[in-house]
């Protein structure tokens, strides 16, 4: 596949269609993403966290389960969790440098 030619063709199509485009309201989010190398120790810590009973308001176990499930299921994507303890969790539990945790290019060896 020739991506340069495909991109150029798309740009031409976009330029032809732009004058007839209607206004669009769009919302955007900003995430601090990083790629964290994963090893057996980090994976084991996440698995242990996923198995831990969670008191009310503690999203750590469900988040750990989701982080591990995504690459094993063959997909990634950002995790957006409204949780006050999230920043500390991404630093403390998996031993990651924080503040963000992205599974878009996740858990690389």
* Domains of the chain: total: 1
C-alpha distances out from residue 31 to 35, 58, 68, 99, Å: 13, 21, 20, 10
DSSP annotation of 84 reads T
* Residue 58 located in a structural domain: yes
* Residue 24 located in a structural domain: no
* Residue 67 located in a structural domain: yes
* Residue 98 located in a structural domain: yes
What is the number of helices (H) and of strands (E) in the chain? 4, 0
State which residues form the domain around 88.
31-109
* Residue 55 located in a structural domain: yes
* Residue 54 located in a structural domain: yes
* Residue 69 located in a structural domain: yes
* Residue 5 located in a structural domain: no
pLDDT in tens, the chain (109 residues): 888 999 889 989 988 988 888 887 776 655 555 566 678 888 898 899 999 999 999 999 998 998 888 887 777 766 777 888 887 787 777 565 544 444 443 433 3
Q: For the chain, give the number of residues.
A: 109
């Amino acid at each position: 596949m020739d991506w340069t030619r495909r991109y150029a063709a798309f740009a031409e199509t976009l330029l032809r269609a732009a004058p007839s485009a209607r206004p669009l309201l769009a919302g955007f989010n900003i995430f601090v993403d990083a790629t964290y190398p994963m090893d057996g120790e980090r994976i084991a810590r996440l698995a242990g966290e996923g198995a831990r009973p969670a008191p009310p308001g503690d999203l750590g176990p469900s988040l750990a389960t989701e982080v591990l499930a995504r690459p094993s299921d063959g997909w990634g994507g950002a995790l957006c969790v409204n949780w006050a303890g999230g920043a500390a969790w991404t630093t403390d539990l998996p031993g990651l440098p924080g503040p963000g945790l992205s599974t878009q290019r996740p858990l690389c060896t």
